[in-house]
Amino acid sequence: MSFDVLTLKGAIALGLLIIQTPAALILLSRLSKGPSRHPPIEPQQPTPEMLGAVSVVVPTLNEAERINPCLAGLSEQGGDVREIIIVDSNSQDGTRDVVKAAQENDPRIRLMTDDPLPVGWVGRPWALHNGFLASSEQSKWVLGIDADTQPRAGLVAGLLNVAEAEGYDLVSLSPKFILKYPGEWWLQPALLLTLVYRFGATGDTTQTSERVMANGQCFLCRRSVLQQLGGYSSASSSFCDDVTLARNAAAAGFKVGFLDGAKVIKVRMYEGAAETWKEWGRSLDLKDASNPGQLWGDLWLLLSVQGLPIPASVLLCSWLLMGSWIAPVVIAAGLNLFLLTIRVALLLAIAQSYDFSKPVSQEPKVKSQEFPFYLCLLAFCLSPLADPLAFLRICLSTFSTPTQWRGRSYAQIQS
């Protein structure tokens, strides 16, 4: 083999080491906090002190096919929930009829319609803002819940217990994800891990305000804190309003937590890989809550530890098999194989965040689309192969701003 070819291979391997080594050290530092993270939230029975402490706000827009499990789960909560306010944005699919039917069984459910969306607001924070303003001032806490979630009985009491005992002013939960089709079992874990790589394990309470994470699917905040923040107005134009609001609260000195809620809440976010790619990918970059330096730093980290390891391992190991045993190639190959080992370990670690029970559908047309579960499990195991695509999705989202979201146009808030 010519000297020039060896030199080129060595230069490429050295370049990979320069790019990837610092990122790998940062990743190890973040993952090292995993064993000391906050334990998962457990369902509990409400205590007398919790009576009427929480107003629940659920924003809806055409959620008729998904909201029933959410309403049923909220109705199973105890006396700690004072009211359940459904803020509907003029749904046209029967959502309002579903809510009205649920009202007959639970008088705490209240249906309201938010005002027309003002310029500069995104629909979700606008609905939550209206729900907050309409909620009872006697409630100490306000809990935002998405319509696609499935709360378990004891969720609110368990969340309140931790928030009060540990002095949180704002705390949100990561859910257990419900997936159905092989495509989403393959893609979604790779997208989820972009968050783990950037922010560490759920339950890490050592984050600075700029690195705080949150999840609006289950988002509990003290009423007094929301009042000081002006409700949701500080996140009015954000497509990741949950993270934006949480970081604003942390920057103002309030204690913010992002904890594991897999034991108390499930969520069925999107139907299939295509919708997961399109809808979830639009907000995963978190650019509305981050400065340019953070965005570029996150892209470098994801490229180094998630986007590159598979193609780099294939390339470098092929060179080794061809006899190119030079130090930079050997070291770079070892680093990328090590990163792949971490990726497999993380796949096992996040398995608890997924509902592996076979979904039971009530619709014949959905039953006909069900896949054998072993295909879904195989797709989950092969999800590391989707890592380069996950990095690409974050890049595409970072350098573009949504113009459509949940059937609404947002051309008016383009930057």
Q: Find the DSSP H helices in 167-219.
A: 182-199
In a domain, 13, yes or no: yes
Same domain, 275 and 315: no
229, 263, 283: which is the final residue of a domain? Answer: 283
Burial class (CB in 10 A: 0-12, 13-18, 19+), 363: exposed
Same domain, 306 and 266: no
Task: Please give the tally of structural domains in the chain.
Answer: 2
In a domain, 242, yes or no: yes
Same domain, 65 and 197: yes
Same domain, 53 and 142: yes
- Of 343, 326, 411, give the one whose Cα is nearest residue 12: 326
283, 308, 337: which is the final residue of a domain? Answer: 283
283, 306, 341: which is the final residue of a domain? Answer: 283
Same domain, 100 and 74: yes
Same domain, 258 and 180: yes
Query: What's the distance, CA 374 to chain centroid?
Result: 26
How many whole angstroms separate alpha carbon 220 and alpha carbon 256? 10
In a domain, 107, yes or no: yes
- Specify the CATH number for the domain of residue 123: 3.90.550.10
Helix 387-398 vs helix 292-302: angle between axes, to the nearest 10 degrees?
A: 160
How many whole angstroms separate alpha carbon 22 and alpha carbon 29? 11
The answer to whether 341 and 23 have CB atoms below 8 angstroms apart is no
Same domain, 85 and 211: yes
How many whole angstroms separate alpha carbon 305 and alpha carbon 294? 16
Same domain, 306 and 161: no
In a domain, 112, yes or no: yes
Each residue's pLDDT, cut to its tens digit, for the chain (415 residues) gives: 555 878 899 999 999 999 999 999 999 999 998 778 899 999 999 999 999 999 999 999 999 999 999 999 999 999 999 999 999 999 999 999 999 999 999 999 999 999 999 998 999 999 999 999 999 999 999 999 999 999 999 999 999 999 999 999 999 999 999 999 999 999 999 999 999 999 988 877 767 888 899 999 999 999 999 999 999 999 999 999 999 999 999 999 999 999 999 999 999 999 999 999 998 887 898 999 999 999 999 999 999 999 999 999 999 999 999 999 999 999 999 999 999 999 999 999 999 999 998 654 444 444 445 678 889 999 999 999 999 999 999 999 999 877 766 667 776 554 4
Domain boundaries, position 337:
3-34+292-403
Same domain, 349 and 228: no
- Of 306, 167, 343, 139, give the one whose Cα is nearest residue 227: 139
Alpha-carbon dihedral of residues 292, 121, 176, 341, nearest 10 degrees?
A: -10
Task: Supply 141's token pair.
Answer: 């806490």
In a domain, 408, yes or no: no
Edge-to-edge strands, sheet with 149-151: 149-151, 265-267, 176-177
- 283: DSSP letter: T
How many whole angstroms separate alpha carbon 399 and alpha carbon 282? 10
